[in-house]
Structure 1
């Protein structure tokens, strides 16, 4: 079981790194077309949060001497969250990013999951910050990091909404 959980952890890490590459490529594409980055002051805290998230899971797993039990229901939730995550990224296409970058005079995307809620990706990430640690029996991480995520979102969402209102067509 340990090898499968290690592979799952590495898969999640690789997925996040690939997403950062996609975000960087999208950032470059948007800036080449006049994209403006706004609200960048808090971005470093998202990097810190997500880095410490993975370190925290490892730390909890290494401190615990008992084996990790596989949870079918949690794994199913994880898979659903990954599908929803991909749905968000694919819906936004070149506009998906980890930063707040907006293109002037571009209409907001209101299809896919964005048809149903304004910030579905943030909900998905919050649920992942609970679900992923629970898969590894990292209970402290599952409690602490969603709370920290919510605190950062209190800064991020208003900054993003303000940026989008400034430059987007409705």
Structure 2
């Protein structure tokens, strides 16, 4: 039962993120923002979908590890901080809006706090259900995709 609740939380959270990201993306584009590097985005979606599917299939009925669950809960606090800081500028795509960059909150501490969070989540969430191999495989795959993503982000001309 606990595994099912954790998996349901992950699924609902990811769906909620997509809804929020789509909403913020639409509003940013309507304000004149420009999307950069959209070609790699389906790869990110496929990776996260496969990650979640593996957790759902192989984690169903597994015991929940309280230590990893606590670490995951702490990561959710970081997620809330990132969302609160970036507000309507948070999205899963590379969207650039004229004006000053956000320089407060976790952004002042980490260059890419959302990517740092995702790296941690991809490692920690499967471990909540004892799926170490899922954590390892998807951490490697995410590193490859993140290399493409960061290359695209770092090529963006901020402050147009």
TM-score by length of 2: 0.94
Residue equivalent to 1:8: 6
Does the alignment pair 1:114 with 2:107? Answer: yes
Does the alignment pair 1:77 with 2:45? Answer: no
Does the alignment pair 1:90 with 2:84? Answer: yes
Whether the aligned pair in 1 keeps the contact of 2:35 and 2:93 (CA below 8 Å) is yes
Per-residue Cα deviation, 1:59-117 (whole angstroms, up to 9, x for no partner): 3236xxxx62332211110001011011111111111000011112x111111000111
Residue equivalent to 1:168: 159
CA RMSD of aligned residues (A): 1.4
Unmatched 5+ stretches in structure 1: none
Aligned partner of 1:157 among 140, 150, 156:
150
Distance 1:123 1:25 in 2: 23
TM-score by length of 1: 0.89
Unmatched 5+ stretches in structure 2: none
Distance 2:137 2:86 in 1: 29
